[in-house]
Amino acid sequence: MKKARDVLHRPFTSDFLKIILEGCLVGIFTGLVVSLFRWIIDQTMQGLQIIYPFMGHHHLAIIGYLALMIVICLILGRLIHPYQLDLIGSGVPQIEAILNDQHSMNWFQVLWRKFIGGLLAICPGLFLGREGPCIQMGAAIGQGVGQQLFHRDQQATKTLLACGVAAGLSAAFSAPLAGTMFLLEEIVFQFKPKIWLTALAAAICSDAVTIGVFGTKPCLYLPITVNLPLRSYPVIALLGIILGILAYGYQWCLLNLRWWFSKVPKLPAQYHSIIPFVLLIPVGLWQPKLLGGSHLLINDIAKQGAKPPLSGFQNLLILMGIFFVIRFVLSMLSYGATVPGGIFMPILVLGSLLGAISAPLMIEAGIIPANAFINIVALSMAAYFGAIEKAPFTAILLLTEMVGSIEQILPMTIMTFVAYVVNDLLGGRPIYTALREEIFA
């Protein structure tokens, strides 16, 4: 008969703690880099809220600002051109390719070029998310820690690179669980303890660093105070169907961007960003809160639900519809313009706008109370994101951590699951896998 000592490992003989500590170090370094990246973006986004109203009253300043956009485009093009394949977009498809032995990267060149290039693209207001560069910078840090600091073999270095992915997303949104789940659900497609526990350690450490800089308040706090009535659940499922269809449309457009931009005559790919840079100016002059990722717009949308009884809801619907069209078109142009930047936040903003269109209709029909406006906004963000990314668990965890509420888990799960299934039936793919196949065809 065996005893416990015959079955258990001897104390302090496991090498698991070593890789955990290395993952923690990746998380700390990533948290420091991403905190600086986030802080600079936050400051410039606030600056745009001052610059554009100033230009609205001093029209000659527009000429100087247009010249500045041209200069930024030229600098950005020169910066990314030597490593264009590595630096375009979010970097997530490139990371998938590395883990699948389809690609390799110079971690230091990617790290500093993605940092500066991401700022040059996002800070002027392109409709891009900060999370893409944060994820790739975290992966680069993980690879650098594995190769240069600990001289680990290829497999261990890949594990630390994967940890950097979780740490980057965690630091971008203060969402360690979502960062870890994103890695498992969209990158490695595995649930091995060595991977997910090390990634979770890195995500926790990176989040701890960002909390020290930005505080403990959820980065997209939405004050959900009521639960949706049971009678609204069938309508929530119907809304999930609509969002699933729209998610497929988003994927279809996104995966055609490279082909569309290839038709732009006599303009090298590294300078395609001049197109969205110029188009940003009239948008910013009209409504600067539309620019960037944009947390500001989501917070502004949430405030609409605090104006009972949603007076002038028809005007609200029209305005939200216009916002959606502008955000959709410029999000596509921004991501397709051969620049560094992510799609997480642009997707979440589009989802919030769809929720802001749906909620007043449901309120007017008596399906939900007026103070549940914000619930539908949050649910729509999760469902639209989960369907496009083909990552329902990541979507639910991300919105729960970002919003700071677990009150709506069941309706959020229902809507996200329905949207996911509808997109899958239409032929949707995990978006980063599809982008990887497109880039590394």
pLDDT digits (tens, 9 = 90+) for 88-123: 999 999 999 999 999 999 999 999 999 999 999 999
Confidence of residue 381 (pLDDT cuts 50, 70, 90): very high
Express as a percent the part of the chain with pLDDT over 90. Answer: 69
Average pLDDT over residues 317-334: 93
| Least trusted range by pLDDT, from 216-220, 241-245, 331-335 | 216-220
Q: Which of 273-287, 296-310, 368-382 comes out lowest in average pLDDT? A: 296-310
Which pLDDT does position 247 carry in this prediction? 97
Is residue 117 a contact partner of residue 83, using CB atoms and an 8 Å limit? no
Reference 379, options 366, 362, 365; nearest CA is 362
User: Is the C-alpha dihedral spanning 208, 214, 220, 221 positive or negative?
Assistant: positive
Find, among 424, 81, 367, the residue nearest to 235 by Cα. Answer: 367
> What's the pLDDT tens digit per position in 149-196?
998 999 999 999 999 999 999 999 888 999 999 999 989 887 778 888
Per-residue model confidence as pLDDT tens digits over 387-404:
999 999 999 998 888 776
Phi, psi of 129 (to 5 degrees): -95, 150
Higher pLDDT, 61 or 300: 61
The confidence score (pLDDT) of residue 324 equals 95
- The model's confidence at residue 22, banded by pLDDT at 50, 70 and 90, is very high
**Mean pLDDT rounded to a whole number for the chain:** 90
Which of the 8 DSSP states describes residue 288? G
Residue 313: pLDDT over 90? no
Q: Which pLDDT band holds residue 203 (cuts at 50, 70, 90)? A: very high
Sign of the dihedral through C-alpha 76, 77, 79, 83: positive
Angle CA(245)–CA(247)–CA(253) in degrees, nearest 5? Answer: 110
CB neighbour class for 29 (10 Å; exposed up to 12, middle 13-18, buried from 19)? buried
- The pLDDT of residue 370 is 85
Kindly state the average pLDDT of the residues 284-306: 81
Confidence at 306, pLDDT banded by 50, 70, 90: low
Dist CA 308 CA 322 (whole Å): 22
The predicted structure's pLDDT at residue 317 = 86
pLDDT at 297 exceeding the cut of 60: yes
pTM strictly above 0.85: yes
Tokens of 217: 């308040």
Task: Please provide residue 174's backbone torsions phi and psi, each rounded to the nearest 5 degrees.
Answer: 55, 50
Which tens digit of pLDDT belongs to each residue from 115-137?
999 999 999 999 999 999 999 99
Query: Mean per-residue pLDDT for 227-245?
Result: 95
Residue range 269-293: average pLDDT? 92
Q: What's the pLDDT at 312?
A: 63
pLDDT tens string 341-364? 999 999 999 999 999 999 989 988
pLDDT of residue 307: 57
Cβ-in-10-Å burial (0-12, 13-18, 19+) of 86 comes to: buried
Q: What is residue 408's predicted lDDT score, i.e. its pLDDT?
A: 78
